[in-house]
Structure 1
Amino acid sequence: MSSPVLSDAFRAHPLNLNHKILDLSSVEILPDSHAWTFEANKYESDISNTGSIPIIDLNDENAKELIGLACKNWGVFQIVNHNVPKNLVDEVELAGERLFSLPMHRKLMVERTPNGVSGYGMVRISSFFEKSMWCECFTVVGSPLEHAVKLWPHDYHKFWYFHTLQHNAC
């Protein structure tokens, strides 16, 4: 018997396509689907008294425990001394900017299917909340070539090169 894969889980729990993907670059009036209220935010915490986002040094012998605490208490953290070259980090940022600055109709050309793993769309955890999140998500599992060709038919090599560079560096 084969072991389960991520796509099996997504097929069993498809995304709700009734959630509207908000075009953050052109919204003038916030739709009710994205209007969070204090009452709707069941996970509200006062971070003003808890300091700043944790910065974890991977050279610290307690890094593993610190990451666990940061996940539990914050859900986010910053890593330093990760040995990822700065030029690669810069390339990642540029690739993200290039992708998310595309017009909505172009991004929707690679929209993730309800049971799909890769593509553009809602964050998979969106279904756990009553209101939609103010974010965009592009998930890449495996090769991004299929999506890159659709998004940049005449100039997909930059995205593909970046993927190859990232794969070889990590």
Structure 2
Amino acid sequence: MTTNTTLAQVYREHPIHLRDIIPLDFNSIRSVPDSHVWPISDDFSSDHQLMVPIIDLKDPNAVKLAGHACETWGAFQIINHGIHLNLLEEVESEARRLFSLPTQTKMKALREPAGATGYGLARISPFFPKYMWHEGFTIMDSPTDHARALWPTDNARF
């Protein structure tokens, strides 16, 4: 018998500590804290150029190429996706609007310890010895509740 476990169920069963959710307030720090300083790796040679894989969705092997890119890189760029440039620009504009909010405002949409969505560090943060230099906002379904918390009167665009 197979069970279908959702990501939300896994997150509820394995909550993470708030210290692994709350990002740095980038506007209040003057230097990189030790919690975010990663050692220089000997495994990486900076003398050669690396490029994130580019997947052309018109390529008949796109699915296979995307799988390989995920296995080797964990990320890829998509071209020929058919999404209009104006929509991409609107999404980027809303992301800039979100991340330019004051920290105390963004904290109103902080992801719960057992939650999957909202503002905060990546759920994978506890698996690394140091924190990543980033803040994020995870959306898996409708972001309406988070948008209302961030912009009580101006949330329709988000």
Q: What does residue 32 of structure 1 align with?
A: 34
1:22 aligns with 2:12: no
Q: CA deviation at 1:50?
A: 5.2
Mark the CA change 1:110 to 1:80 in structure 2 (over 3 Å): closer, same or farther. Answer: same
State how far apart, in whole Å, the 1-side matches of 2:3 and 2:142 are: 23
Deviations 1:37-86 (A, max 9, x none): 12xx69x5336525322211111122122212222222221110011111
Could you say which structure has the greater relative contact order, defined with CA pairs below 8 angstroms and 6 or more residues apart?
A: 2
What secondary structure is seen at the aligned counterpart in 2 of 1:56?
A: strand
- Write out the 4+ residue segments of structure 1 that deviate beyond 4 Å after TM superposition: none
Q: What does residue 62 of structure 2 align with?
A: 63
Q: Give the stretch that moved more between structures: 59-68 or 86-95.
A: 59-68
- Stretches of structure 2 lacking an aligned partner (at least 5 in a row): none
- Stretches of structure 1 lacking an aligned partner (at least 5 in a row): 160-170
State how far apart, in whole Å, the 2-side matches of 1:69 and 1:46 are: 22
- Among all aligned residue pairs of Structure 1 and Structure 2, give the percentage whose two residues are the same amino acid: 45
Aligned length: 156
Q: CA RMSD, aligned part only?
A: 2.1
Amino acid at match of 1:13: H
Q: What does residue 125 of structure 2 align with?
A: 126
State how far apart, in whole Å, the 2-side matches of 1:36 and 1:114 are: 25
Q: CA deviation at 1:130?
A: 1.1
What secondary structure is seen at the aligned counterpart in 2 of 1:84?
A: coil
Amino acid at match of 2:27: S
Between structures 1 and 2, the one with greater helix share: 1
Q: What does residue 52 of structure 1 align with?
A: 51
Q: Give the stretch that moved more between structures: 135-144 or 93-102.
A: 135-144
Q: CA deviation at 1:9?
A: 0.3
Which residues of 2 match residues 127-146 of structure 1 at below 5 A?
127-146=126-145
State how far apart, in whole Å, the 1-side matches of 2:128 and 2:52 are: 23
